Amino acid sequence: MTHNIITDDVDDHALVAPSLVRRVFTLIAILVPLAGMILAMALLWERGFAWVELALFLGMYVATGLGITVGFHRLFAHKSFSCGPVVTATLGILGSMAVEGPLLRWVSFHRCHHQHSDDEGDPHSPHGYGGGFWGSIKGFWNAHIGWMFKPAALRINKYTPDLQRSKLVRRISLLFPLWVLVSMLVPTVLGGVISLSWSGALFGFLWGGLVRIAFVHHVTWSVNSICHLWGTRPYQSNDLSRNNFIVGVLAFGEGWHNNHHGFPTSARHGLKWWQPDLSWTVIWILSKLGLVWNVRLPSAERLAARRRAS
């Protein structure tokens, strides 16, 4: 969503700065939802909170959040399970409706992150900015938001050749602007229809649209920032990824980030019974319904072999 593409004949480490137009659109995608949240809070002061707004916010948050976690991340980026075209399209569209960029670009950045995690070439590592309080602050800012405005070496053809062989996936990625529009129209229309009022449509737009996008964005970005700075590291990995309980809950299991980096292809990130992982629950249910298959999980032997010494 934020960087130019480097073609295959350019060195892997060559950096290209995002164009001015792309940086402007990125800034808009970050600031407009935050402005919508501020407006929604201000209106709450006068009007109060209705169940319709809460339902639209939670419904859209869960649907598009799972589109990112189950779809963009575990299905498309890591091939943690297999599924047919209907489930593929549904997860791809829901993930696109989270407004985090086109599918192929999102997967490219994520696979690049795994290849260079917390090392040179990682697009959003919080490390390498010095020690102490200010070093942590600068690292957090880079991992959370700052990386989107910096030069990066991104080669979509290198990181997504498997996905590009699918006409369906290419089309979903290409139609990203349409899914953004749908993402805003659905809560707006539902809010108006349910309340039979224009004000209901407005509040549906604000809570199910802008506020929800802001929440999904910052929860997703917290996996990049918080989960590489604060938390536990029970498994060996070639980086500083960490498990964080709060992010684990808010991000539907993505906050068990050290588990994920220890076993990147696992469809389950919450590897213990006390680690909530809504994304895994959804995958498990879909598998029982026969809608997904080839679900990948680490064996007990692999888990034991990678566990860090206490």
pLDDT band with cut points at 50, 70 and 90 for residue 309 = confident
Asked, for residue 270, whether it belongs to a domain, the answer is no
Instruction: Give me the pLDDT at residue 5, please.
Output: 34
**Nearest Cα to Cα of residue 240 among 129, 98, 99:** 129
CA distances from 247 to 219, 223, 240 (A): 7, 7, 16
Q: Taking 60 as the threshold, does the pLDDT of residue 2 lie above it?
A: no
CA distances from 266 to 80, 270, 284, 297, 298 (A): 6, 10, 12, 5, 6
Cα separation, 268 vs 128, whole angstroms: 30
Burial (0-12, 13-18, 19+ Cβ within 10 Å), 101: buried
Asked, for residue 254, whether it belongs to a domain, the answer is no
Q: Taking 50 as the threshold, does the pLDDT of residue 4 lie above it?
A: no
Asked, for residue 54, whether it belongs to a domain, the answer is yes
**Nearest Cα to Cα of residue 213 among 56, 2, 72, 10:** 56
Q: Please, what is the angle between helix 85-96 and helix 176-195, to 10°? A: 80
pLDDT band with cut points at 50, 70 and 90 for residue 8 = very low
Instruction: Give me the pLDDT at residue 85, please.
Output: 98
Instruction: Give me the pLDDT at residue 216, please.
Output: 98
Asked, for residue 212, whether it belongs to a domain, the answer is yes
Compute the mean pLDDT over every residue in the chain, rounded to the nearest whole number: 92
What are the E-state strand segments in 47-166? Answer: 82-83
Instruction: Give me the pLDDT at residue 153, please.
Output: 62
Asked, for residue 60, whether it belongs to a domain, the answer is yes
Q: With left for phi above 0 and alpha for psi between -120 and 50, is residue 189 left, alpha or beta? A: alpha
Domain of residue 54 covers 20-221
Task: Characterize 234-248 residue by residue with b for buried, 16 or more Cβ atoms within 10 angstroms of its Cβ, and e for exposed.
Answer: bbebebbbbbbeebb
Provide mean pLDDT across the span 119-148: 91
The 3-state DSSP class for residue 82 equals strand
pLDDT digits (tens, 9 = 90+) for 76-105: 999 999 999 999 999 999 999 999 999 999
pTM for the model stands at 0.93
Instruction: Give me the pLDDT at residue 152, please.
Output: 66
> Do the Cβ atoms of 143 and 125 come closer than 8 Å?
yes
Percent of the chain with pLDDT over 70: 94
Provide mean pLDDT across the span 279-292: 98
Q: Taking 70 as the threshold, does the pLDDT of residue 252 lie above it?
A: yes
Domains held by the chain: number: 1
Asked, for residue 272, whether it belongs to a domain, the answer is no
Asked, for residue 167, whether it belongs to a domain, the answer is yes
Containing 132, the helix (H) or strand (E) segment is helix 132-144
